Amino acid sequence: MTTSREIHLITRPPDDLPVPGEVAMVEVPVPAPEPGQAVVRNMYMAIDPGLLQRMRDLSDLHVPHFDLGGPMWGHAIGEVVESATPELQVGDVVLHHMAWREYAVGDVKEFTVLDTTLYPSISHHLSSAIVAYCGVHRIGIEQGDTVVVSSAAGAVGSVVGQLARLRGATRVVGSVGSAEKARFVTEKLGFDEAFDYHDGWPADLQGVDVYYDNVGGWQLDSAFNAMRPHGRILLCGSSEEHRNGRPHPHRTMQMVIGKRLNLIGFTTNDHLDLQPEFEREFPPLVREGKVVLHETFVDGLDQLIPAIKSLLDGAYLGKVLLRF
């Protein structure tokens, strides 16, 4: 009988990444599918900063927590290897939420068959581009805007900068964590400039129209100082707080009032009406080379927890994917 390794959450880690005993690698038999079900061999899983938040005991999280005592969930792509439904054929490549395991067994409604010709790589279906696309369109980046993107070499920020340029932004600046990442976003992605946030906010980076925030923390405080009156700040992520598990006390709210800044909290679930437009407009940009979807691959389920730590430490470029 085929077996599958799964990572189960045993207890909630209080502050940092889980250690042995808080999570466990479990080997389980893969059952035959019941009528209306299919067995899927996972190929790729998305690794995102929010995975750690979902392990913790945080009552104000805007997405569900992982349940204790079983495998966790997340975006994954796999191939149907056994099917008991006419709606799924062996060999179909599907998108689903049963990640953190080598094999997934579920009802047909759990799986979405993918068009494998839509992107240059099947794994591109796990990109965070929908987050970037919805944010850029909803915040209304306009011709001539100066746009600053934090975590600009990451899965979301790397796409935001490219879309901002396509929408006519005059100056697109990326905040990154190293000289290597600065070269990456300027030479490979077309950002006009980039700065290493470890060196502080550049003194000449003022009059910002749009700040796309993926990290929170003191970088957001610095952005308040640099915004023009009535500037727009999209609050998309807080990876700095994901890393340390503690909220950052912002001390610049008076500046928000004085500059009449527009702060917009953002999750993609509020903008699902843009999904059809995204599916129509975005893939051609990738196929034509107008947008680059850079990926970093980590191999093997046993590397998943270390990869989350490395992601939060800023070790990767672009979208990080586990390859089974």
Domain locations along the chain? 3-126+293-323, 129-270
Count CA atoms closer than 13 A to 25's CA, side-chain side.
11
Please provide residue 169's backbone torsions phi and psi, each rounded to the nearest 5 degrees.
Answer: -60, 135
Q: Check residue 242 and give its pLDDT.
A: 47
What does DSSP say about strands 227-235 and 295-299: parallel, antiparallel, or unpaired? unpaired
212-232 pLDDT, tens digit per residue, is 999 988 889 899 999 999 999
pLDDT averaged over the chain?
92
* 270/225 Cα distance (integer angstroms): 29
Q: Provide DSSP, 57-71.
A: --TT-SSPPPPTTSB
Is-contact 237 213, C-beta < 8 A? yes
197-215 pLDDT, tens digit per residue, is 999 999 999 999 999 999 9
* 165/163 Cα distance (integer angstroms): 5
290-312 pLDDT, tens digit per residue, is 999 999 999 999 999 999 989 98
Mean pLDDT of 64-71: 86
Which range has the worst mean pLDDT, 34-43, 61-70, 133-142, 290-299? 61-70
Is-contact 126 321, C-beta < 8 A? yes
* Domain 129-270 of CATH type 3.40.50.12660: no
116 three-class SS: coil
Which range has the worst mean pLDDT, 50-59, 115-124, 259-268? 50-59
Which range has the worst mean pLDDT, 59-63, 72-76, 144-148, 293-297? 59-63
1-11 pLDDT, tens digit per residue, is 899 999 999 98
Which range has the worst mean pLDDT, 43-57, 80-94, 233-247? 233-247
Phi-psi map region of 147: left, alpha, beta (phi>0 left; psi -120 to 50 alpha): beta
* 304/321 Cα distance (integer angstroms): 9
Q: Check residue 61 and give its pLDDT.
A: 59
Please provide residue 131's backbone torsions phi and psi, each rounded to the nearest 5 degrees.
Answer: -65, -45
Q: Which residue has the tokens 């912002």?
A: 250
What does DSSP say about strands 112-113 and 103-107: parallel, antiparallel, or unpaired? unpaired
Higher pLDDT, residue 162 or 237: 162
* 158/191 Cα distance (integer angstroms): 9
Q: Look at residue 101 and tell me whether its pLDDT is greater than 90.
A: yes
Q: CB under 8 Å to 74, separation ≥6 — which residues? A: 45, 46, 48, 51, 97, 99, 100
Q: Look at residue 46 and tell me whether its pLDDT is greater than 50.
A: yes
Which range has the worst mean pLDDT, 50-59, 105-114, 187-196? 50-59
* 59/101 Cα distance (integer angstroms): 26
- Kindly compute the dihedral angle of the four CA atoms of residues 120, 125, 131, 137, in this order, to the nearest 10 degrees: 50
Q: Check residue 217 and give its pLDDT.
A: 82
Residue 22 corresponds to which tokens in the numbers above? 């808080």
Q: Check residue 244 and give its pLDDT.
A: 52
In eight-state DSSP terms, residue 118 is S
243 three-class SS: helix
- Name the nearest CA neighbour of 262 among 105, 103, 138, 129: 138
Q: Please indicate whether the domains covering 3-126+293-323 and 129-270 agree at the CATH topology level.
A: no
Q: Look at residue 52 and tell me whether its pLDDT is greater than 90.
A: no
Q: Check residue 53 and give its pLDDT.
A: 77
Q: Look at residue 15 and tell me whether its pLDDT is greater than 80.
A: no
- Give the rounded distance of the alpha carbon of 258 from its chain centre: 33
Mean pLDDT of 126-141: 93
* 198/241 Cα distance (integer angstroms): 17
* Domain 3-126+293-323 of CATH type 2.40.30.20: no
